[in-house]
């Protein structure tokens, strides 16, 4: 579904992403991992066009999208979250979710701010995620974990076919982490969403992912099933060695 070809993002002499190439199969949960500074989030930003790539190509369902504006990419079916929640704190949860709805032309701008159809759709998404109880809570009153769930709900309002999740379980407690894992798995298995995920929690990645892409110094150094990646010498050297030694101990 998603193809990244020789993607580069340079900041002066710094090569944050340096010729990264990988693909995400339709219906899969693919993880993008690597040490800090590997270029994972920058690659996400280039794919979603929140930053402009220096060079390279990004294709979605056979259509090149790296030259499109971010809202056009969202309209094509690709949506993403960010490491830090970008919610509007002076709006309620349901308003934060509905604001992500697609606007289709001038007529869409002339509609009521919150239509009954949008409200029903948003409540159905909040119900799926088990957070209808906070639907009318102001954004600034939410816990960190609740903001993560609200971001996930907002992501789903645009009816994506592929979602990019940037550390969805980062900083949350173990109970909520299990809940988020369950939601991601359900979105993939029951709703057919393709998922590309950046996450530092290796235990989560190995349990959840069908495929793992490993980046280091802006480049892809390994790409394959989780068990193969765990044993790859380059990966052990660049990133996973300490984690695997700790698990063994």
Domain assignment present for 98: no
Q: What span, in angstroms and rounded, lies between the C-alpha atoms of 156 and 128? A: 11
Query: How many domains does one find in the chain?
Result: 1
Find the radius of gyration of the CA atoms of the chain. 18
Q: What is the pLDDT of residue 144?
A: 87
Domain assignment present for 8: yes
Domain assignment present for 121: no
Q: What percent of the chain has pLDDT over 70?
A: 88
Mean pLDDT (the chain) is 87
**Nearest partner of 1 among 219, 161, 224, judged by Cα:** 161
pLDDT in tens, 75-108: 999 999 987 766 667 789 999 899 876 555 445 5
Q: What is the pLDDT of residue 239?
A: 63
32 strand-pairing partners: 198, 213
Q: What is the pLDDT of residue 57?
A: 97
Q: What is the pLDDT of residue 23?
A: 97
CATH code for the domain of 27: 3.40.50.300
pLDDT in tens, 154-173: 999 989 999 999 988 888 88
Domain assignment present for 116: no
Residue 181 pLDDT greater than 50, yes or no: yes
Q: For the residues of 23-47, what is the DSSP string, one character each?
A: EE-TT-EEEEE-STTSSHHHHHHHH
Q: What is the pLDDT of residue 233?
A: 87
Domain assignment present for 51: yes
**Nearest partner of 195 among 205, 226, 70, judged by Cα:** 205
Domain assignment present for 117: no
**142: number of Cβ within 10 Å:** 20
How distant, in Å, are the alpha carbons of 26, 102, 161, 165, 228 from that of 61?
Answer: 9, 20, 10, 19, 27
- Where in the sequence is the domain holding 76, given as residue range(s)? 2-85+160-248
pLDDT in tens, 224-245: 999 999 888 888 887 655 544 4
Is residue 249 very low, low, confident or very high in pLDDT (cuts 50, 70, 90)? very low
Q: What span, in angstroms and rounded, lies between the C-alpha atoms of 114 and 248? A: 53
Domain assignment present for 6: yes
**65: number of Cβ within 10 Å:** 20
Domain assignment present for 132: no
């Amino acid at each position: 579904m998603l193809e990244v070809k020789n993607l580069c993002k340079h900041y002066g002499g710094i090569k944050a992403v340096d010729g990264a190439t990988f693909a995400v199969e339709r219906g899969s949960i693919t993880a993008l991992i690597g040490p800090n500074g590997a270029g994972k989030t920058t690659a996400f930003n280039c794919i979603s066009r929140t930053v402009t790539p220096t060079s390279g190509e990004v294709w979605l369902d056979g259509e090149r999208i790296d030259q499109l504006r971010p809202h056009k990419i969202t309209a094509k079916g690709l949506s993403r979250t960010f490491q830090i929640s970008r919610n509007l704190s002076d709006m309620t949860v349901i308003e934060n979710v509905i604001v992500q709805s697609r606007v289709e032309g001038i007529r869409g701008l002339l509609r009521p701010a919150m239509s009954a159809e949008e409200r029903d759709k948003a409540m159905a998404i909040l119900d799926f995620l088990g957070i209808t109880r906070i639907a009318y809570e102001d954004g600034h009153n939410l816990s960190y974990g609740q903001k993560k769930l609200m971001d996930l709900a907002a992501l789903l309002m645009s009816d994506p076919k592929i979602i990019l999740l940037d550390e969805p379980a980062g900083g949350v407690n173990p109970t909520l982490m299990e809940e988020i894992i369950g939601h991601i798995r359900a979105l993939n298995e029951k709703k057919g969403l393709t998922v590309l995920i950046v996450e530092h929690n290796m235990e989560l990645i190995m349990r959840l992912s069908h495929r793992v892409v490993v980046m280091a110094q802006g480049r892809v150094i390994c790409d394959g099933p989780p068990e193969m990646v765990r044993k790859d010498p380059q990966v052990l050297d660049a990133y996973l060695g300490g984690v695997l030694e700790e698990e063994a101990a």
